[in-house]
Amino acid sequence: MTHLYTLLVGGVVIPGRDEPPVSSIAWAADTVIALGSDADVAAISRGDSHLVDLGGASVIPLGDAAAAVWPAHARLEVGGRADLAVLRTAPRGADAPEERRLPALALVRGGRVVAGRLPGGGTGQRSAGRRRPDPVERRRGDLR
52 pLDDT band, cuts 50/70/90, is very high
Dist. CA 23–CA 141, nearest whole Å: 40
Instruction: Enumerate the β-bridge partners of residue 31.
Output: 28, 81
Taken as a whole, the chain contains a residue count of 144
pLDDT score for 93 = 60
Kindly list the structural domains of the chain, giving each domain's residue range(s) and its CATH number in brackets, ordered by start: 5-143 (2.30.40.10)
Q: Alpha-carbon distance 34 to 59, whole Å? A: 14
pLDDT score at 89: 86
| Edge-to-edge strand ranges of the sheet holding 84-87 | 12-13, 58-61, 84-87, 104-109, 112-116
The helix (H) or strand (E) run that includes residue 38 is helix 38-42
Selected residue with higher pLDDT from 138 and 104: 104
Query: Which tens digit of pLDDT belongs to each residue from 58-110?
Result: 999 998 878 888 888 899 999 999 999 999 988 876 555 567 888 999 999 99
